[in-house]
Amino acid sequence: MSLKKNFIILIVLLFFPIVFAQSDLDFQIVEVRIDGDVELDFQNSNSRLEYFSADLKLFPKSSYREDVIDLKLEHNPSASIVQRNSIDYRWDDEFEKLSFGYDAKVKVWNRIFQIPTDVPLVNFELSNELKKYVKESEFTDITPAIREKALEISAGSDTLYETTFKIAEWVRTNVEYNLSTLTEDAVQKSSWVLENRYGVCDEITNLFVSFMRSMNIPVRYVVGIAYSDAVEEGWAPHAWAEVYFPGYGWIPFDVTFGQYGWVDTGHVKLAESVGSNEPSVEYTWKAVKVGLKNKNLELNTSIIERGDKIFPLIELDANVVYDKVRGSSLVPLEVSVKNLQNYYLSTLVYITNAPGIVGDNSKVILLKPREEKKLSWILSVPELNGDFTYKSEIKLIESFGSEAKDELLIGDKFELYEMENAEIEINEFENGKNADAKILDEEIELEGKEDAATVIPEEPEFEFPEKENLFRKLLRWLGWI
């Protein structure tokens, strides 16, 4: 039996899949194709059609992070086209069936607005163009409860980036992503989402928009497509927001993905608007006794080319506080996150390998230029066969691809650490007590006692940050359901 205990068995008890895998590439070339068709109903021999128009709102446009390499407009029968903020296909002859759409190739860059200094909220003046982005819309209502909650969440913050981050992260961690019948069949107002605390990406985005607008901060609603490993097809319609930063412009914030101040190369923007009630396509026609029998709009997306991995933006380090424990222990995990850039950067840090975790496996952190902060989790260790010593690898990764690892040995010859032990460690991290201060406190307490020579273990310095949390097809946004 004693020989068996000399063996160390490698275990990975839990594996948490990486959901979003597009943010560590410098670019991607994505093909986006929309195919629409309509069937007209000529009701009798007296039916006449003067013209029919399909005004398509959703199409890619070149911007700071997207280059439209190619955009081929398709229509059958041949249509006259006017392209501005939308693509308007018009037919002036009588046809029972019409089709329209495009085939686009878009190069999406991993570009982040480099904001070295946060923007004060004091004297935040709005131009006439921006004023419409602080008003209510059909689904982004602003009630007294929304105003009050926004002020509560942002209390103590007087700068734009910090305020926006706090509100985005509160929504992410307090509104459950839930594809229920209510949120699938119809968009719900922000006030409903605040009360019920669940929704999908359009409801989540709407609540974020309402919070921000209640504080007179301009925000616009964005619709496009996004890639997620959590979706069987990979790509699906998606919604996020853009916040106006004076001196910089519109900065993306995707609350559903936890991407604040940037979005990954798996996001292709197709349109922006004041609210989520804008249609994806509008049909108009002038006729006598002609109706619309059928309509269809289909989206297809694929990756043509992937770029290289980006250079590290973040430095990540992990430390298991107790690295030798008995089964059933609860173990604090300390994680150091350092911004290597000269501008603000947020990243989502998540555990991919661990024996178990108390709570959520992911947390988002906002870092000032060159700033280093610490996050913490409590790992849960299962009861294992006492005849062996087990080794578990702890692995973390953050949005831009940096990784950190540590190891944990589990066996009944080691000490059992319970929740009380872990909470003491976490509280010390939260209070910012350093190792020297803790040792000094214990030495003073032991002074004059017979066992004062007892060796006191050092405790690591740690700060405990703020609280921690999917995505679904927005078919109704495109008017497909």
Both 161 and 178 in one domain: the answer is yes
Same domain for 135 and 104 = no
**Of residues 202, 249, 199, the one with CA closest to residue 222:** 202
* 254 and 147 housed in the same domain: yes
For the cut 80, the answer to whether the pLDDT of residue 475 exceeds it is no
pLDDT recorded at residue 243: 97
Q: How distant, in Å, are the alpha carbons of 25, 136, 211, 216, 406 from that of 125?
A: 37, 18, 18, 9, 49
Domain hosting 88: range is 27-109+279-306
Give residue 420's pLDDT band: very low, low, confident or very high (50, 70, 90): confident
The reply to whether 159 and 250 lie within a common domain is yes
Q: Is the pLDDT of residue 250 over 50?
A: yes
| pLDDT computed for residue 8 by the predictor | 62
Report pLDDT for 239.
93
Pairing of strands 324-325, 362-367: unpaired
Block residue for tokens 């921006």: 130
And the tokens for 81?
Answer: 């086209």
Q: What is the pLDDT of residues 375-405, one digit of tens each?
A: 999 999 998 877 788 999 999 999 999 999 9
DSSP string, 157-226: --BHHHHHHHHHHHHHHHSEE---HHHHHSPPPHHHHHHH-EE-HHHHHHHHHHHHHHTT--EEEEEEEE
Residues 173 and 190 in one domain: yes
| 468 has pLDDT over 50 | no
- Residues 16, 31 within the same domain: no
In-domain check, residue 462: no
Cα 187 to Cα 206: distance, rounded to the nearest angstrom: 9
At position 350, the amino acid (one-letter code) is Y
10 Å Cβ neighbour count for 141?
18
Structural domain includes residue 55: yes
- Rounded-to-integer distance, Cα 370 and Cα 350, Å: 21
Total domain count, the chain: 3
Q: Is residue 122 part of a domain?
A: no
Q: Determine contact, residues 381/330, Cβ cutoff 8 Å.
A: yes
Q: Which pLDDT belongs to residue 435?
A: 42
Based on the fold, state whether residues 80 and 142 are members of the same structural domain.
no
Return d(Cα 314, Cα 338) in angstroms, integer: 6
pLDDT of residue 9: 65
Type of residue found at 228: S
Helix, strand, or coil (residue 458): coil
Specify whether 396 is located in the same domain as 333.
yes
Domain contains 452: no
pLDDT level of residue 184 (50, 70, 90 thresholds): low
DSSP 14-71: EE---S---TTBSEEEEEEEEEEEEEEEE-STT-EEEEEEEEE-------SSEEEEEE
Task: Write out pLDDT tens, residues 68-97.
Answer: 999 999 999 999 999 999 999 999 999 999
Q: What is the pTM of this model?
A: 0.84
- Section 176-197 average pLDDT: 76
The answer to whether residues 173 and 290 belong to one domain is no
Asked if residue 121 belongs to a domain, the reply is no
Are 94 and 218 contained in the same domain? no
CATH of the domain at 10: 2.60.40.10
Taking a C-beta distance cutoff of 8 angstroms, is the pair 23, 364 a contact?
no
**Residue 82: exposure state from Cβ atoms within 10 A (0-12, 13-18, ≥19):** exposed
The whole-number pLDDT of residue 480 equals 39
Per-residue pLDDT at 331 exceeds 60 = yes
- Which alpha helices (DSSP H) does 45-138 contain, by range? 128-131
DSSP state of 278: -
Is residue 274 one of the residues assigned to a domain? no
Ranges 289-293, 339-343, 444-448: which has the least confidence? 444-448
Whether 464 is in a domain gets the answer no
Domain holding 42: CATH number? 2.60.40.2250
* Separation in Å, CA 323 to CA 148, 241, 359, 381, 456: 45, 42, 20, 12, 17
Q: Is 286 helix (H, G, I), strand (E, B) or coil?
A: strand
Last residue of a domain, one of 267, 289, 306: 306
My answer on whether 291 and 358 are in the same domain is no
Mean of all residue pLDDT scores within the chain = 85
Clarify whether residues 175 and 95 are in a common domain.
no
Whether 54 is in a domain gets the answer yes
pLDDT > 80? residue 459: no
Residue 14 has pLDDT above 80, yes or no: no
